[in-house]
Amino acid sequence: MHMIPMVVVLGGLLLPAEAGAGESPAHRMPPMAWGHLLTLAGGFGPLALGGMAGTGAGAPERLRLPAPSPEETLPVGEAIRRRRSVRRFQDEPLTPDQLSFLFWAAQGITDPAQGLRAAPSAGATYPLDLALVSSAGTFWYRVPGHELERVGERDLRADIARASLDQAWMRQAGAIVVVVATPERTTRRYGDRGHRFIAMEAGHVAQNIHLAAVSLGLGSVPVGAFSDRDVARILGLGEGQEALYIICVGRATEP
């Protein structure tokens, strides 16, 4: 299977009033299986979707990620021991299986009966969402179906690197994760204290991503130097959304 070069973004989406917290109307659209070749932007040629799934004609383009396999990764203690910040990456895409585990570790559902996720959230208000920006375009992670929904076709990786004070090395990472919050999801229940809970949750999500990356044999690094306004513009964030945190993930080059 061909692999997907990408930037990953965690983001909070402003949802219509009829959508539940952490869920957009797109979550409720049933995906349809497809196995044809999709030609992607960014010079990497066609992507063989194979065992992934997507929507039918007229619906937003969605890809179902493979089921995660946490039992095939490193023990958590070993992942903690090995974790280091990495800023030199091979210009190499991540596989669907790697993407699946990273997204699952960050926000995946781990208790289907109650809809609870891998990272703790105050009152299960879940103010964070995940999005993916790649040479194939921009996607948002849809938690209930463990799917990616494409919302744009441009490769925005270089734009995000420039918005991060022009840290050009970020463009080589297989994935860039940006944590974006929709605070109202949490503050409507907890008031101003909700802002602290959101910052805590962003840290939970980020650490899960760092440890998941190590478990997959990948490197990662957090980035805090970026323009909030520029990142919001690049990602098309709406009023009431704020960028909090960036994480780069990819295959590390040898020092």
Residue 19 has pLDDT above 80, yes or no: no
Average pLDDT, stretch 70-98? 89
Which structure tokens are listed for 189? 């229940």
153 occurs within a structural domain: yes
Residue 85 has pLDDT above 50, yes or no: yes
77 occurs within a structural domain: yes
- Grade residue 49 by pLDDT with cuts at 50, 70 and 90: very low
Q: What is the CATH number of the domain that holds 144?
A: 3.40.109.10
The whole-model pTM stands at 0.77
Residue 11 has pLDDT above 90, yes or no: no
Average pLDDT, stretch 110-136? 90
Average pLDDT, stretch 96-122? 94
Lowest mean pLDDT among 41-55, 91-105, 125-139, 147-161: 41-55
Query: What is the distance between the alpha carbons of residues 117 and 50, in angstroms, rounded to a whole number?
Result: 27
Residue 29's pLDDT is what? 33
Residue 255's pLDDT is what? 61
Q: How far is CA 199 from the centre of its chain?
A: 17
Lowest mean pLDDT among 29-33, 56-60, 215-219: 29-33
11 occurs within a structural domain: yes
Please, which residues have CB within 8 angstroms of residue 72's CB and are 6 or more apart in sequence?
none
19 occurs within a structural domain: yes
Average pLDDT, stretch 216-229? 94
Residue 142's pLDDT is what? 87
Q: State pLDDT tens for residues 175-218.
A: 888 888 999 999 999 999 999 999 999 999 999 999 999 999 99
- Say how many C-beta atoms besides its own lie within 10 A of residue 224's C-beta: 8
1 occurs within a structural domain: no
**What domain count does the chain have?**
1
Residue 58's pLDDT is what? 59
Residue 24's pLDDT is what? 35
Give the CA radius of gyration of the chain: 17
207 occurs within a structural domain: yes
Which residue segment(s) compose the domain that 77 sits in? 6-250
151 occurs within a structural domain: yes
Range 229-249 burial, b when 16+ CB lie within 10 A, else e: ebbbebbebeeebbbbbbbbb
Lowest mean pLDDT among 53-67, 114-128, 227-241: 53-67
Count of alpha carbons within 13 Å of 31, Cβ hemisphere only?
19
- Say how many C-beta atoms besides its own lie within 10 A of residue 54's C-beta: 22
Query: What is the distance between the alpha carbons of residues 94 and 54, in angstroms, rounded to a whole number?
Result: 19
Q: State pLDDT tens for residues 147-187.
A: 988 888 888 889 999 999 999 999 988 888 888 899 999 99
Residue 243 has pLDDT above 60, yes or no: yes
Average pLDDT, stretch 9-24? 37
Residue 131's pLDDT is what? 76
CA distances from 55 to 30, 33, 40, 58, 150 (A): 8, 7, 16, 8, 11
255 occurs within a structural domain: no
List the one residue out of 212, 231, 202 whose CA is nearest residue 102: 212
Residue 36's pLDDT is what? 26
Which structure tokens are listed for 97? 């299986």
